[in-house]
Structure 1
Amino acid sequence: MKILQALFFPPEQPGGVSSMVPYIQERFNRMAGWQMELFSLPKRVRGKGTEDLPFRTFDPEQYAGHPIVDRYLQTIRDYLWWTRMRMKGQEQYDLIHAHHPIAALALKHLYPDIPMLATIHSSYERELSLNGKIQPNGPEQAFLVSLYRELEANCDQLITVSEAFRQYMTPFLEQPERVKVIRNGFDQKRFRPISHDTPVPQLVTLCRLVPAKGLDVLLEACARLKQSGKSFVLHIIGDGDIREELEEMAEKLDIYEETIFYGYMLHPEQFMPFFDIFVLPSRAEAFGNVFAEAALCWLALVGTDVGGISEQIEHGKNGLLVPVDDVDALAGALERLLEDPQYRHELARAANERANKTYSLARVIRELKEVYREYGQ
């Protein structure tokens, strides 16, 4: 069977879709009778396409004139343009598996006779809303949530990464019960826990620095810890729109000396095992790959009780969950782990065992093979 894995942008860095799909390709290409290729839109391709994509379930023109919508529609045109130029004469696939709505809609339009599977990894509209880029319930959000039904009408099978996200999509679909859940998996060879003993507990978070990740709540919680006399170092790995704002906030809260801002890091999993506690108080998360990755590095986990995070963490057994935007609860959870290294170790061990069992790449390969066999020609 010959399968095309269609991404949005190239898998240039670990994390998200990029942490899984190239490893899936490697595994499938080693199997007898299976061949898998990757396809994506180069980041340099901008404003090239002129072909409009016909929509089946709604008229996107009613939302035209809004920057997010216009940019999205132009990116679809660019994907169509690039696909026609790059894939000409290479259409002999048994199945296409897309990992972004733009890739799915563009390729299904160009190759309507090839079965199309689409995995929806996250909610663009929730992210934009939480990050203050669009107005809640405004026209941009209406356009973006309409894409779920458009995908349902065009694709042979929708897949998502958590039960929580399937429930989120339910109001926008006609047959939500048909959506399959295949949770992400990871190549465990990338993660090598390292035994270490640090006199001062090391906290780490890894994410894009945007409001949706709740890092303002984390800094407030760390300020409470310092005020109560607790010792720690907070490592913030990642970059984004609010980095300068967060650095200023750390100074005002008098925790700048305890906080290290690293910026973007290409292979954070190589650095992660040297820390003790992974914490990320996200305001929304479809799955939260980084929690599984931190667990594979043998870190204790602290997260918010939302989306895919709450499906990974069983409170008090393999990590701690706190309500969204609750500074007191987050400070309390962190304080408990700072004060009790043995409990911290027990949670980290349990998280590691569960991650190795539940989020293995072998399990993802097995589940995908079943779906591919169902739809492949």
Structure 2
Amino acid sequence: MIKEDKQPILVSHPSPDLYGSDLQLLESVTALAGSGHPVHVVLPRTGPLQKLLVDRGASTEVIPFPVSRKSVLNPKALPGYIIETIVATARSVRLLRRVRPELIYANTITAPVWILAGWLTGTPTLCHVHEAEETGSRVLQMLLAAPLLLCRKVVVNSLASRKVIYESWPRIDDRIKLIYNGIPQHDTTTSGILFPKDEGIRIVLVGRLSPRKGTDVALEALANLVEQGLDVSIALCGDTYPGYEWFEDSLRRRATRDDLNGRVQFCGYIKNVRDYLEKADIVIVPSITEPFGNVAVEAQLASRPVVASNVQGLAEIIDNGRTGLLCPAGDHVKIAEAVFLLVKDPGWAAKIAQAGYDSAVQRFSVERYQESIVSTVEELIVARNGLYRLFDRLKGGRR
């Protein structure tokens, strides 16, 4: 239930699932609720995230609203999306007038309905951007980032995200604050031996089955390693986005060919990926674009050597050759080469895993993240309340 002594913070989030931005939301809610702020989370549908949010101290409500994707910005899909947005905005405005939040915390830019509703009702809005991706179209980037013009504050999860937003709308730059994600650190770290001689090399990839995550690139890298004589397998931990079933079908067909047959495990969605990370010899993150890259940090915290694409946030997480290895995005040959180098030098691989663990503990702690989120939100609330008090004094002076 919403506490009565304070106005709540209304959090909008476009997914009830348990992937990167969903799990990061749990840390934000924990921080805000733990600091005495009532938190009310609005989701577009029910899902596993809802119960976890309640466990972290939030109240939740399910109200359908559209989520913006690149796929809606085409002549066929755009009219329907606009109609959905108008209807959902009216519904959102009614909810804001009922709940009367002190602040809207829009977790991701993919649900601009709430940013628009905040602007229409005069409710200050903070948008936490998790998905600022570089695209080939400057116009498309500007359209996707345009709702941020209506926000009082914009939190980004990497310098790469900040760059994308700045290049789209430079006037927003003074409203942007960088807060790297906070990844939970478990009580113990993995001490298992890498590359046991009596077993094959175990690779793990955690993430949605999608072209953006480079899952197809990972399978070709695996095939390259098999061609070089390595006994190697890969576990794919994640399901596919609705509408991308064709991509999963293509992956499964590729996995049945002679060179990969029996070497690819489709695990589906995994609630506790740490179990898989700890069983891995190497974790790969072959994303084509990645504003941050929680999985890379999670692998470092599990003391596993990481091979990742040299893109966006991944390049900020990994110091190439010291805390992991970076390869050109989409280059399965280079990814295979990096894996091969680690396998042939287990001592070096262990040093990289240890350096990655030390870096992740220092740079991406949950405590640092939560403190930064609370201070940013409270600064915005104080500024908002100060403006209201000034407005009240001005009104009183005119009486």
TM-score relative to the length of structure 1 = 0.82
**Whole-Å Cα distance in 2 between the matches of residues 22 and 343 of structure 1?**
36
Relative distance call for 1:78 and 1:121 in structure 2 (3 A) is: farther
> Once the 2 structures are TM-superposed, how far is the Cα of residue 82 of structure 1 from its aligned partner?
4.3
Q: Does 1:146 align with 2:175?
A: no
Partner amino acid for 1:227? E
3-state SS of 1:205 partner: strand
Answer whether contact 2:213 2:285 (CA < 8 A) is retained: yes
3-state SS of 1:89 partner: helix
> Once the 2 structures are TM-superposed, how far is the Cα of residue 8 of structure 1 from its aligned partner?
2.9
3-state SS of 1:188 partner: coil
**Whole-Å Cα distance in 2 between the matches of residues 71 and 160 of structure 1?**
30
Structure having greater relative contact order (Cα 8 Å, sep ≥ 6): 1
Instruction: Tell me what 2:69 maps to.
Output: none
3-state SS of 2:9 partner: strand
Relative distance call for 1:70 and 1:194 in structure 2 (3 A) is: farther
> Once the 2 structures are TM-superposed, how far is the Cα of residue 228 of structure 1 from its aligned partner?
1.3
Relative distance call for 1:319 and 1:253 in structure 2 (3 A) is: farther
Instruction: Tell me what 1:19 maps to.
Output: 23
3-state SS of 2:98 partner: coil
Instruction: Tell me what 2:106 maps to.
Output: 98
Structure 1 runs of 4+ off > 4 angstroms?
43-48, 84-88
Answer whether contact 2:93 2:117 (CA < 8 A) is retained: no
Answer whether contact 2:133 2:290 (CA < 8 A) is retained: no
3-state SS of 1:209 partner: coil
> Once the 2 structures are TM-superposed, how far is the Cα of residue 239 of structure 1 from its aligned partner?
2.1
Aligned mate of 2:121, from 111, 115, 127: 111
Matching of residues 362-373 of structure 1 within 5 Å? 362-373=367-378
Instruction: Tell me what 1:307 maps to.
Output: 312
Instruction: Tell me what 1:60 maps to.
Output: none
Partner amino acid for 2:23? S
Count of residues in Structure 1 that have an aligned counterpart in Structure 2: 344
User: How big is each residue's C-alpha offset from its partner over 1:93-137, in whole Å with a ceiling of 9 and x where there is no partner?
Assistant: 32221113325423313431x3211111104784xxxxxxxxx54
Instruction: Tell me what 2:151 maps to.
Output: 155
Instruction: Tell me what 1:195 maps to.
Output: 191
Unaligned runs of 5+ in 2: 1-5, 47-61, 67-72, 386-399
Partner amino acid for 1:317? R
Bigger Cα displacement from structure 2, 246-255 vs 301-310: 246-255
User: How big is each residue's C-alpha offset from its partner over 1:172-209, in whole Å with a ceiling of 9 and x where there is no partner?
Assistant: 103243222111112324x7534334433210001111
Instruction: Tell me what 1:183 maps to.
Output: 180
Percent identity (aligned): 23
> Once the 2 structures are TM-superposed, how far is the Cα of residue 143 of structure 1 from its aligned partner?
5.4
Instruction: Tell me what 2:221 maps to.
Output: 221
Q: Does 1:352 align with 2:357?
A: yes
Relative distance call for 1:25 and 1:259 in structure 2 (3 A) is: same
Instruction: Tell me what 2:92 maps to.
Output: 83
Instruction: Tell me what 2:169 maps to.
Output: 173
Instruction: Tell me what 2:392 maps to.
Output: none
Instruction: Tell me what 2:249 maps to.
Output: 244
Q: Does 1:41 align with 2:38?
A: no
Answer whether contact 1:46 1:75 (CA < 8 A) is retained: no
Relative distance call for 1:9 and 1:147 in structure 2 (3 A) is: closer
**Whole-Å Cα distance in 2 between the matches of residues 219 and 125 of structure 1?**
24
**Whole-Å Cα distance in 1 between the matches of residues 360 and 129 of structure 2?**
22
3-state SS of 2:322 partner: coil
**Whole-Å Cα distance in 1 between the matches of residues 7 and 348 of structure 2?**
48
Unaligned runs of 5+ in 1: 49-62, 127-135
**Whole-Å Cα distance in 2 between the matches of residues 213 and 279 of structure 1?**
11
Partner amino acid for 1:90? V
**Whole-Å Cα distance in 1 between the matches of residues 271 and 84 of structure 2?**
26
Bigger Cα displacement from structure 2, 199-208 vs 20-29: 20-29
Computed over aligned residues only, the root mean square deviation of the Cα atoms, in angstroms, reads 2.7
**Whole-Å Cα distance in 2 between the matches of residues 40 and 78 of structure 1?**
16
Partner amino acid for 1:301? V
